[in-house]
Structures are given as C-alpha cells and as structure tokens.
Structure 1
C-alpha cells in the first residue's frame, strides 16, 4: 500500500484528510513542520499533503527544506491552504509543489488529485529505475554507480566507516566471444552478475555493471580481511558454475578481482581509490587470472594463491 504523509497543525483537518484517504493508502499525520520533516526523511512516501499556514515553520519553508533533502526532494507535495490568491499559488508551484488545493476542499477532488499524483510519481520512479538498471543483467548500470558511489563515499567520510571498492571482470572474455559467439557471451555476463549479486545482497552492498564484462562492487562497514574473504568466495562461486571456456585458454569461465578497503578521510576522493582497485585487478590478471588481489587499510597487499 502506498504511503502518504499529511502535515497540518489542525488535528481536525488532518483527521478529515486521513479519513478521505485511509481506504486506499497508508496515511501518517504530523502536526508540526518539524515533525513532518523528520517523518518525511525517515520513510518512503509517495505523496505529501502540506498545509501552508502553520505556527513556527510554515508550509512554504518546509517545502523548501524537503526540496533540499536528497531523500525527499523527489516526493511530490500538494499544498492545501486557505490562501487562495494567485501570488501564493504561484509561489508554491515555483518552490516545487505539484499541485495547490484551496480550502474548503471536496473529498472527491482530494481523492482524484492524490490518485493522479501518486500514479505519476510511480511512473516517474519506474522510468528512473529503468534508466539506472543494466538491461542485460538486471543489476545497477554505470549511471547508478556514479551517483551511488559518491553519496555513500561522503556518508562513509562522515561516519568514519570502512569502505570497500572491488572491480572484477571475466577472464579472457574476448576469446570466449570469438569461440562461442556474442549471444553466449551475454549469457555468461548475466550468469556472473547473478552469482555476484546473490552474495552482495545486504543493504550495505552494491553491485553494478561498469561496462562490457567488467563489474564494480561496493561494501560498507567490512574490514579488509572480511571483504577479501567475501570476494574470494564470489570468485570461487563463478568458477564453480563450470561454464566451459575455450579449452586452449581455460577449462572454465573465471573472474579476476581487485579491491581496496579504506576508511575515507575528508578531502579524499572515491575516484582515486577506484583507480587503486583497478590497479589491483590489473595485478590479478597479470599474475595468472582467476584470483583476488587486495589493498588493505594500510595499503598492504593481500594476494590469493
């Protein structure tokens, strides 16, 4: 059931709106702008109904704050107010509200407009999801990686938590494509992605197809030893798929993995450590493939095999 947040200092009016929408939505109410901001930032809402005239922080100010927060800036907001002049309506729409309903309102109008904006929000969210998903594998694509990685890097800097970046690609993939054809190669890419994704499924894990047969994984909170052991298992799981390779180069399809674990410091950049992970991947390939090479928090190199 879709979630809707009502922010209105009038307990009576908030209850009236809740009653109108309760049969179709999971409705939460807040009676101050501060409480509304806290609730909006703590859950996933499909729509916010916001009263404009409230003591202390008014609805226009709260709308500005919602637009500034990453987690709430895309949630549609309908302003509900007794201010019926054109200037206030224009101001609310300029600030980012998707609609403006004046009091007194009719229940059927509320329902119709809420339904419309929830449907539009879900449609936009689906389109956004498709634009950030790799169509072949179903995991995140490079676009999603680029935005997610920077956001999580900044979070790790703030919280001083270990941040792991790993890069891996399929060994001798060009030979595989030349031998078995590109449709078979696509199936291998999808199989490797599925295998890795089945192990990187915690809320703190992230996996993206970076390009071609190359992938990037991000793990938050794990020590280098734990991350190294986890990625060694993924490497083994891919080998254990027993996908036949060209026998002139390898018995099975395998992957090489390079990674780095760091506690990010202020002023450091994700891109510089992504390059270190890429260097570790290069070293893994140069030293025989089908192995994991890691740089720990002190830049000590951990080598499999």
Structure 2
C-alpha cells in the first residue's frame, strides 16, 4: 500500500462518479474505469487499495466484476464498495454475499463515502500489518518460510504470462553447528542477523526477496533474473558475507564465517510449480557443500521436462 493509497472507481456514467473522485484526490491516487472489463484489467495492473464500483452497468455488471476480483488470488483481499440504485435494496445482500465490504445507495454523498473509504482503508492497513507479521522472521526481519512460499507462488504465476525467467538462491552458513557449540546461541543469533543484513544489502530489484528459510539457511527469490545475473548475485552475497570477517575457528572452510550457495534458474511457464526452483537450488547447494563448501554451484533446469513428467494427462 502506498503512503497515499490508491482508489479505483468504476461507473459507466463518469459524470456521476466525478464528484467523488474530486473529493478523494486530496488524499488518494484516484483512477477511473468506464466498464467492467476495463476495471478488471486496471485492477490487475495497479493492485489498488480499495475499489468502488457501480452494480448496474451494461455488459459486465458490478456483480460479475466483484466475482472476478474475488476469484483472483492477488486481488481477493482488496476491499470493494458497491454502489446500488435506490430502488434496489436487495442488491446489498447479494453484493455483501459476493465479498464486498460495503454497499451504498445512489445518489452519493461524496463526503460520507470518503469517510467510509477512510475507515475501510485503515482496516486494510491494520490487516496488512498483521499479514506482514505472519510472514516475517522475528530474528532477522526477513521473510520467513511462509513468506518465501507466498512470493514464489506469486512470481511463478506472474512471470508465466510472458515466460520470463525466475532464479532462486539458497545458501547455508558453513559449519554453523560448530559455531554455536563454540560461541553459544546468543553469538549464533548475532551471526545470523549479520548474515541477514548482508543479504538484504545485496538485493537490487524491487521485487527481489530475501528470506530465512530455516535455521542457518537463507533463500532469495529473483524475478526477471537470468542465470548469469543470479550467479553474479550469489558470488556477491558470498563475498559480502566473507567481508564481515566473523571469526569461525571451528570451520574447515575458512577461519571466518562463509556460506555455500546453490542457484537454480528457468523461464516460468504455465503449470510450473514453485517448489521446482527450491528443489533444484537445494540440489546445487548440496553439490557446493560436497565440493568443499564456501563456493557457489548453479544450474539452468528444464522446466518443460519437469512439467511433462509431473502431469500424467499432458500429451
């Protein structure tokens, strides 16, 4: 959610919605659509914080728009306020049953509607904060495993529309149990936090995500990132962590904390499963460890081969 918040208004009679848009523009970024089809397309591109739409429109009516938005996992949590005609009180029951948060009768009072919008936006902000806490690792502030899985689901679906590349990095602190045994868990937690900070500083793209995968293991999701770019990123992460020079005299890899890194890259296609990237990157991590640790191993895997072997009904 942006600092101002984004509102999408839908009404085929734009002159009827214009006064509301004028009132909202002082506090929100406001966009208007003139048809159900346009609203669904705009919502998918913008990911608005709230949508106000008219029920009674030619073509795709407000009920169908509401149904399509709620059927889209990315947009399902966006609050929807429906506008109904004054002689159709039954519309409120139907609209709320479809998942709308509110239903108001025309003619609108822009000031009253703005207050309703403010309330629903605030509720959404609080809900988003709770959702963020649920996918955040308490020690490092990175995404947790659940957040990683959510991001992979989202990105594989989004990138498959144009078969763009996705890369995943998995890294593991070398001989971390020995570190804990020698220095204690408090020092171990401090080490994990320093590694997490180095990992965060290495993230470039706005869609890149770093996560604590579990224990001393971390993962990165890199949308629109080629294999070569992901390998460069992995080596940079490796060097940044080495540069911390955290003493680790019990390590067989180096006198300071190092990491082993696995990289997996492939273009996303329809039907691709997010766990394929994790599995392939994990296999590369295993290769890096077996080769002596403190190194990077990567692969470009054949996503179409995995897709065909995982679906017995695919021709």
How far the C-alpha of 1:264 sits from its partner, in A, is 4.7
Q: 1:21 to 1:153 in 2, by over 3 A?
A: closer
Q: Specify the alignment match of 1:16 in structure 2.
A: 19
* 1:283 and 2:287 correspond: yes
How far the C-alpha of 1:84 sits from its partner, in A, is 4.7
Q: Specify the alignment match of 2:91 in structure 1.
A: 88
Which one is further off, 110-119 or 226-235?
226-235
3-state DSSP class of the match of 1:159?
coil
Q: Specify the alignment match of 2:118 in structure 1.
A: 115
Segments of 5+ residues of structure 1 without an aligned counterpart are 300-305
What is the TM-score of this pair, normalised by structure 2? Answer: 0.87
Give CA-to-partner distance per residue, 1:12-67, whole Å, 9 cap, x none.
Answer: 21111113323322222222222222222221322111111112221111111111
Q: 1:206 to 1:96 in 2, by over 3 A?
A: same
Say which of 20, 45, 50 aligns to 1:47.
50
Q: Specify the alignment match of 1:293 in structure 2.
A: 297
Which one is further off, 259-268 or 36-45?
259-268
* 1:28 and 2:26 correspond: no
Q: Specify the alignment match of 1:60 in structure 2.
A: 63
3-state DSSP class of the match of 2:168?
strand
Q: 1:50 to 1:270 in 2, by over 3 A?
A: closer
Q: 1:123 to 1:178 in 2, by over 3 A?
A: same
3-state DSSP class of the match of 2:257?
coil
* 1:209 and 2:215 correspond: no
* 1:174 and 2:177 correspond: yes
After superposition, the CA RMSD in angstroms is 2.2
Distance in 2, matches of 1:185 and 1:84, equals: 67
Q: 1:131 to 1:9 in 2, by over 3 A?
A: same
How far the C-alpha of 1:157 sits from its partner, in A, is 4.1
Segments of 5+ residues of structure 2 without an aligned counterpart are 304-315
How far the C-alpha of 1:186 sits from its partner, in A, is 1.3
8 Å Cα contact 1:52/1:79 also seen in 2: yes
8 Å Cα contact 1:175/1:246 also seen in 2: no
Q: Specify the alignment match of 2:306 in structure 1.
A: none
Say which of 186, 191, 202 aligns to 1:188.
191
8 Å Cα contact 1:169/1:215 also seen in 2: yes
Distance in 2, matches of 1:89 and 1:82, equals: 10
Distance in 2, matches of 1:183 and 1:153, equals: 37
3-state DSSP class of the match of 2:141?
coil
| Number of equivalences | 299
Say which of 244, 249, 255 aligns to 2:247.
244
Which one is further off, 18-27 or 281-290?
18-27
3-state DSSP class of the match of 2:210?
strand
Alignment of 1:138-149 (within 5 A): 138-149=141-152
